[in-house]
Every structure is written in structure tokens, then in C-alpha cells.
Structure 1
């Protein structure tokens, strides 16, 4: 027990000595690391300064040490460039009519509702026709008697019995009653308001129980045939568009496009929005409805032999528009004179021949005479 007690102070002294030695070693290594970092920063600064001086004094050294920038390329091309005017139009119908009452009476029935599609001859409303119906019944009775008298008079006259005047009076009375009956039946038919052609009921302007007179408006009706497109075009295009010009029309709601022609060009400028009307012919298509939105693409410029490049590659500075082209592993700044643009293509009037290789991806990172490396896609 006494020997163990004597050993404890020696063990504690050993542990303390080892701990101090370890701390001294860590401190020395940290000091050495800081010294090396300081030397590295100093050397790096000297290297950058020397490289900068050498690049200014020796162009060949500058070219060898310039960092290459990874890019992709796009080709300028020569071909036909076409520009279009895109405007929004609306599908309309030449059969847009107001249906009015043709006889007087009270509305008994209105089966038509707004937005309802109907076929030609389908009943839209029914007007009270009781008086006309009674008159028809009376005329039919009178006509039956007149026919009997005429037939008997005709037989007598064929036997040379009686006078010609009696025969003609009987005939005239019968024919007169037939015409009156036909007239009343026409009036009776007008008590049923019918669709004049296939189409859609836009508005209903009468209600059951209302009293109408001949000429009273009852329905606004739009036919499904004889459709056309009407659009407002800016007055800046006056003289550019004319009757017969080709136009591409798309209908976003049904995902369809057709090629058609301008059928009429307005002669008056609207002073409120400085536009003029253009009418475009529309063939019969089952999926098209009046008031449907359409997009008209009208050609207003065409050049058969133009230099064409992607529009997004064009940059600008105080001098003008430019692009970067690739020559012998370097990016070269080329100033251009641009023409019209449509979509993501621009016509180049001056500055390019059409056989150049343009810097595409990475065009904002390069500069004039930068070394470039074309990525292999």
C-alpha cells in the first residue's frame, strides 16, 4: 500500500510533462503554418506582378498564358428572311341578324335561351294566334260552301244551263276565299318565330306574357356559316397590306392553323386607336365559332438572299451592335448593321458574309481576341 502511494506523484508528474510537450508541439506547428501561408501569399503576389509585366512586354507570352474559355458555336446562314405582322382578330359572321316579330300578339312560349345552338326552322318563340285560328276556321267553312256552289254552277254551265255571269261569280268567290285562307295560314305560321338558318341565339329580348307588335326585336341571332375574321391593324402598315395578300391564321383555343387571304382592307383610320380594319376570308370549319379569338400572321417583308443569325447573340455598346465570331481559336468582335427581326432570327445588313461561326453559349464571357475552346457536344 505504501509503495502504491509513493508511485502516484511520479505518475502525475509524467502526465503533466507529456501534456506540456504536446501543447508546445501544436503551437510550433501552427506558427510554421502561418509562416508558410505568409510566404505563399507573398510569392503569389510576385508571380502575378511578374506575369502582368511580362504580358505587357512580351505579346507571345501573353498569348500563351491567356486562359481559354469553353464555348459552343452557332452558324450564320444565308437564305430567305421573312417578316410577319402578328395581330389578334375575332371570328365574326356575316349572318349576324336581329329577329323581330312579324305579327301582333302575346308571347306564349320562348323555348330558346341565350347561347343555344339551333337548326334552320327550329321554333324560337310562339305568339298567341287564337284570333287568326278562328278566322281560318270560318274561312274554311265558307270556302267549303263556295266550292260546292261553284261545282254545281260549273256542271250547269257545261250543260248550257244558267248564265256565264253566275258561273264566273261562283268561281271568283271560291278563288277569293282560297287566297284569303292562304293569307291567314301565312299569318298563322308567322306566329311561330323560327331560326332563319343554323346558328346560335346570342340574346333573348322577350319574355313569356309580353305583348309584341310587328317589328318588335325578339332575338339576336348569329349564323354558323359565312364566317370571317376582323382585325385592327396599325396605320403604320397602310400600303403594306392589300386585298389578296396571303395570311396565316391560328386559333389558340382549338390548336388549329390555316392559310387564307385578305378579303378586304378598310379605307378609314380609326382616330381613337390609329388603326384600320382588315377582313380575312375564313372557310367553313366545324370547330370555329363566332367571337373566337384568332392570331393573324401577315407577311410584310421578304428578302430572298439575307444573312441570318440568332437574335439573342447580338450585343450592343456605344459604337453599335456586334457579335463574337470564332477565328483561329480566338473570339473576334464583329460590328454589324441589323435589319428586321422575327422570332429568334435577325437579318444582318452589313458586317457578316453568312459563312461565319458565331460564339453561342459563353458569348457574354468572351471578349475581343480571347482564347476559346469549343465544347464537343
Structure 2
């Protein structure tokens, strides 16, 4: 009887322990977080370049007089459209015309002196040196006349091409110096607008003429304009250290203006192979640094630091951190910690 009474408490104790273990196992299974795994893919993609800048006209020009003088007439105003060769402004020609007349009289005198010296030399009265000096003076006088005629010709401003007067910087009666801008004009036509922006040397090396670009203006934020790289600088700007890129923009019938601000996404033709993960796998991104969760046994998780190269739509290109990783956790990752237990579910289960 004593043995029976002794074995009964032991049996009850063992049964209670087994019940506790079953309860703990059930509770642990219920605490497992369902997650999905997605493969790390290697894709051939182009790293886009993002830039911004101001739009200007490809044929913009600053027009000025070749010589200085008083402005006599201005024939156009700001906003006027002009044709190629149209007269825009003239100087008072009083002084310039006097210089032209003076140069022509100088040519006539030099010609007479040269002919006289030639006759005297033929009669052995003048020396050969005197003849040569007279000939030189004659040639110098003719070149002076060419200079005076040239200055007179460029004492007026004509439009170098068809376009529009953007700014008029001086008015009639003002004294204009040689080369001082009087007008600022642009060209016309849909293919005449370019976006100029500076890029660092790393991006400059990947960009080539002919690369496509998507351009968005602040004036039309919901429209995407097509652009193509038309020129890239061969030297850096000494002030900023960046390289200027020109993107020719198709206006799509819009009336563009110099100085409009625009942003562009440029896709270089040069491509490379990168490892891509779904964007929903990223956790706690900080600039180019982030991390993802991975599992090696489908039960526990591990936080894996990665370095982001770029993000292209739903593909996150990773430059470092996934060298020996084939799968990452996507769905369920926001609820995970490094101590979490997981239950891997098929991808299609979550989609239902």
C-alpha cells in the first residue's frame, strides 16, 4: 500500500510536466511569424542619373555693336519675333562715317605718292628704298580703309537667325561700348531647347551622347518630356568642379522659355549586372545603407546589412552585402527582430 501511495504522486507530477511541455510547444508554434521568401536576382540594368538645371535656347545669342558709339535707333522691343537678317539697331554714324571718308582719302593720297615715286624711280631720281616705302604706305592705307568699312558695316545689329527678343538691355541715346550686349535673343523651333546641368565625374564617365532622358518641368509637373544627351563637357567647371551635360528637349508643342527649372532622369546606355531584391524587403534605410532579414534554417532570422546602389522601380540594386545570399524575407519582415521565430509560407498563399 505504501508503494502505491508513493507512485501515485510521481505519476501525477510527470503528467503535469508533460502537459506543460505540450503547452509550451503549442505556444511557441503560435508565436512564429509567417513570412515569405523571395529570391535574390541578378539583373542587367542601367544605373539612372538624376539631375536638375535650367532650360535655355540652343541658339541663344547676346548681340552687340562691334564699335562703340551712341545708339541712334532701336527697331524692336522685348518679346518681338524677328527674321534672320532683320535690322535691330543702329549707331549714330557721324564719327564712323568720318573715319571711312578719312581712310578713303588716305588711300588716294598714298596711291598718288606711290605712282609719283614709281615715275621718279624710272627716271633714276628716286631710290629703290623710296619706291618701296611709297608702296608700303599705299598698302597700309588700303588696309586702314578695309578696317573703317568693316567697322561701319558692324555699326548696326542684325538678327543672326530667326527668333525672339528676350531682353533689350539698352535704349536709344545711350552710349554703347564695343561688345556691350544690347539684345538677348533666342532661336525658334521645337528642337532648339536644351537643359544644362552639372554632374559629378562618376556620372559623367557613364553618360554618352545619344543617351535618353525623361524631363519634367515644374511648370508642367504631370507631363514627361522626351530628351536626348546632345553634348557633354570635355572639362570640369573650375568654379563648381562638375561637368556640364546638355540634354536636348522636345517641346511637345509647349511654349518654353529660357530659365525654366526642370529635372531629368537619364538612363545611360552603359549597363551592368547587379543583385536585385524587392523593395518591400528593405528595413530601416539610411541613405545608401539599409538591411534585410534572411534565414538559413527557415526557423530563425538574421539581420543582414546591405549597401544600395540605386532603386529602379521595384528593383533595389544592391552593391554590397548579398554576396552569399540567395533569398531574403519580404512579407512579414516589418514585424521581425533578430530573436523572432518564423514560419515560411508559400508566396501564393499571401496573395490569396
Q: Give 1:203 shift.
A: 2.4
Partner SS, residue 282 of structure 1: strand
Q: 2:277 aligned with 1:309, yes or no?
A: yes
Q: Is the 8 A contact 2:35 2:342 kept in 1?
A: no
Q: 2:329 aligned with 1:358, yes or no?
A: yes
The equivalent of 1:277 in structure 2 is 243
Q: 2:182 aligned with 1:218, yes or no?
A: yes
Partner SS, residue 112 of structure 1: coil
Kindly provide the CA deviation profile for residues 194-225 of structure 1, in whole angstroms up to 9, marking residues without a partner as x: 43222232321222444668766421222246
Question: May I ask how many residue pairs the two structures share in their alignment?
Answer: 263
- How far apart are the structure 1 equivalents of 2:300 and 2:258? 55
Partner SS, residue 309 of structure 1: strand
The equivalent of 2:213 in structure 1 is 248
Q: 2:85 aligned with 1:112, yes or no?
A: no
Larger Rg: 1
Give 1:268-347 correspondences, 5 Å limit.
268=236, 270=238, 272-273=239-240, 275-280=241-246, 282=248, 285=251, 287=254, 288-292=256-260, 293-299=262-268, 302-304=271-273, 306-315=274-283, 321-324=291-294, 332-333=301-302, 335=304, 337-338=306-307, 340-343=309-312, 345-347=315-317
The two structures have a TM-score, normalised by structure 1, of 0.52
- How far apart are the structure 2 equivalents of 1:251 and 1:196? 31
Q: Give 1:112 shift.
A: 0.9
The equivalent of 1:198 in structure 2 is 162
Q: Is the 8 A contact 1:77 1:309 kept in 2?
A: yes
Q: Is the 8 A contact 2:71 2:89 kept in 1?
A: no
The equivalent of 1:258 in structure 2 is 226
Kindly provide the CA deviation profile for residues 120-176 of structure 1, in whole angstroms up to 9, marking residues without a partner as x: 3455446678999xxxxxxxxxxxxxxxxxxxxxxxxxxxxxxxxxxxxxxxxxxxx
Identify which of 192, 199, 207 aligns with 1:233.
Answer: 199
Q: Against the structure 1 CA distance between its residues 263 and 74, is the aligned structure 2 distance closer, same or farther, given a 3 Å change threshold?
A: same
- How far apart are the structure 2 equivalents of 1:336 and 1:243? 33
Partner SS, residue 236 of structure 2: coil
Q: 2:37 aligned with 1:67, yes or no?
A: no
Kindly provide the CA deviation profile for residues 2-35 of structure 1, in whole angstroms up to 9, marking residues without a partner as x: xxxxxxxxxxxxxxxxxxxxxxxxxxxxxxxxxx
Partner SS, residue 47 of structure 2: strand
Q: Against the structure 1 CA distance between its residues 267 and 105, is the aligned structure 2 distance closer, same or farther, given a 3 Å change threshold?
A: closer
Q: Against the structure 1 CA distance between its residues 58 and 347, is the aligned structure 2 distance closer, same or farther, given a 3 Å change threshold?
A: farther
The equivalent of 1:26 in structure 2 is none
Q: Is the 8 A contact 1:91 1:291 kept in 2?
A: yes
Identify which of 53, 63, 73 aligns with 1:99.
Answer: 63
Q: Is the 8 A contact 2:281 2:328 kept in 1?
A: no
- How far apart are the structure 2 equivalents of 1:236 and 1:190? 45
Q: Against the structure 1 CA distance between its residues 84 and 248, is the aligned structure 2 distance closer, same or farther, given a 3 Å change threshold?
A: same
- How far apart are the structure 2 equivalents of 1:218 and 1:280? 26
Consecutive unaligned residues in structure 1, runs of 5 or more:
1-49, 133-183
